[in-house]
Structures are given as structure tokens and as C-alpha cells.
Amino acid sequence: MIIGAHLSIGKGYPAAARQAARLKLDGFQYFTRNPRGGSVRTVPESEIKKFLETMKELELKANLAHLPYTVNLGSQESRLQEFATMVVREDMKRAQALGTSFVVSHPGHFGKAGLEAGLTQVAETLKIALDGVGTDTIFCLETMSGQGREIGGQLEDLAEIIRLVGDAAPIGVCLDTAHLFAAGWNMRNQAGLDDLTASIEDTIGWDRVKVMHLNDSKVPLGSRRDRHALIGQGEIGLDGIRAIVNHSQLGQLPMFLETPVDNYSQYAKEAQLVRELVR
């Protein structure tokens, strides 16, 4: 099992790696730049070198990068399209230099032109942004709760984007358990999880699924709202999380926590609880 959590890189990448090790994590997720804006600092080669050495020394297994929330891959506005293209391209290159396994992004929102136009725009943006970037780091679209005009609330959304991108770039998928639950997938038991994985195989293809955000949900099944809860303290509950981590397919994915801890040190307890649920 690989279990990580979202940490801050405010003190630099090597410091985040050391914090992950202190918390007994196997890796960590980080924002590629300011999540509510878009500013980013230049990472010196010396820091990249030190980070890679630290990861190896501490035997950390995987990292996950998350694009800022301000990226809207489905926007019809040229300014936002240009911003999204720039961020995807630059942040993928930086992630590869840092040895990051996956870069995850919310697909974005569709506008007045409708969902179909939004899906087409996501694909077009990704084809341009990922052209020639390389495949050492896998770009992943995240499953969403389906709130409002959000893209990704249905598996078919992601399947269509992947179909439209085609061979232009390899696209993976990140499953978010809280989002899936809010979108209507019953994550509480084996039968519900089997329904989900079968539907993923039929639409996206299981080979596209690369990583998981392991979160409980503050909101009820099918509520179409994005609200995370601590492990075992939400609507999915401890039995549901246990079913997920022991599932023959879901349990094999690298898992990264985004639960609403008061401080990052709490992730040690969250991760330990998850490990104790594994049979």
C-alpha cells in the first residue's frame, strides 16, 4: 500500500519530503503553484537535486502534484484557455524534473455553450498543452462531484475527453472517493464498489485509473457537493473506507489523503488509521 497526504511546499520540496517521512507517509501531494491564484516561484536546480536525493534517502515511493483551482480546462474564454495551457505545460515540465509520478487537475466547468462544448475544449487544451511534454509524469483528470456546471461529475465526461484527446497525449484518471460518493456512487460496501469499478471499465477503461484521493464525505450520497471529512467521520464511514482499501482493484491504487485536518501533523494519525483497516 502507498498512502500519502497533501502537504505544503512553502519551506521547499526537501522540507516537505522530510515532513512526509516524519509523518510515516509513503509520499505526498503538493500544489504546483498558488492554488487560488497562479503565482509560482522558480525552483533552483540545487533544490531539485536535493529533493531527489532526499526522496531516495527517505525511501519515499510516490509524489502527486495538484494544479491550482484557477485552471479551467473547459473555459471558452481565450484568456482562461491560454492560462490553462500555460499552467499545464509549465507544471508538467516542473513535475517531471522533480520526479513526480502524477499531475492531477480538476477538468473545469462548461459555459453557456454547454457540456459537449466544454468537453471538446478540455480535450483541445490538453492536446496543445501536453504536446511534446513527455510521459515520465502522467497527467490525470479528477472525478468530480458534479456540482453546477462542473465537468467530471459523470464517468462519461472523462471517457469522452480521453476519446477526443486520442493518441495526442496519455491521459490518466484520479478517483476521489468523496467526489464519487457525492456524485451518486455508493462507496460504503463491496457491491457499490464493484458497480463503480465495472462502470469505470465500461466507460474509461480501468487501465486509465492511476491514483486515488482517499477522503470521507461530509455530505450525503448523491448530494453533488464537494465537502471532505476525516477518515471514518463522514457519510462514507469507517466500514466504507475499509471496503475501499481492501477492494481488489481500488485497494491497489496509490492513495493520497486530502482530509480536513487542523494541521499537517494529524495526517500521521489519519494514515495509520487507514493502514489498520487493511486486512
d(CA 183, CA 181): 5
6 counts as catalytic: no
- Select which of 26, 176, 216, 270 is catalytic: 176
What's the Cα-to-Cα distance from 275 to each of 27, 246, 258, 278, rounded to whole Å?
Answer: 14, 10, 16, 5
Q: How far is CA 234 from the centre of its chain?
A: 20
- Among residues 6, 106, 109, 242, the one annotated as catalytic is 106
- 47 among known catalytic residues: no
Which residue out of 66, 188, 208, 242 is catalytically annotated?
66
From the list 142, 160, 216, 270, the catalytic residue is: 142
| Residue 36: active-site member | yes
Q: Give catalytic status of residue 228 as yes or no.
A: yes
From first CA to last CA, the distance across the chain in angstroms is 11
Which one of 226, 235, 264, 270 is the catalytic residue?
226
Active-site pick, 213, 242, 264, 270: 213
Closest CA to 60 of 244, 271, 277: 271
Task: Check if 226 is active-site.
Answer: yes
Which residue among the candidates 179, 188, 208, 242 is catalytic per the annotation?
179
Residue tagged active-site, from 47, 69, 156, 247: 69
Catalytic residue check, 142: yes
Look up 66 and say whether it is catalytic. yes
Beta bridge partners of 257: 5, 214
Q: How far apart are CA 266 and CA 246, in angstroms?
A: 23
From the list 33, 94, 188, 228, the catalytic residue is: 228
Q: Is 195 a catalytic residue?
A: no
The whole-angstrom separation of Cα 169 and Cα 156 is 19
* Active-site residue set: 36, 66, 69, 106, 142, 176, 179, 213, 226, 228, 258
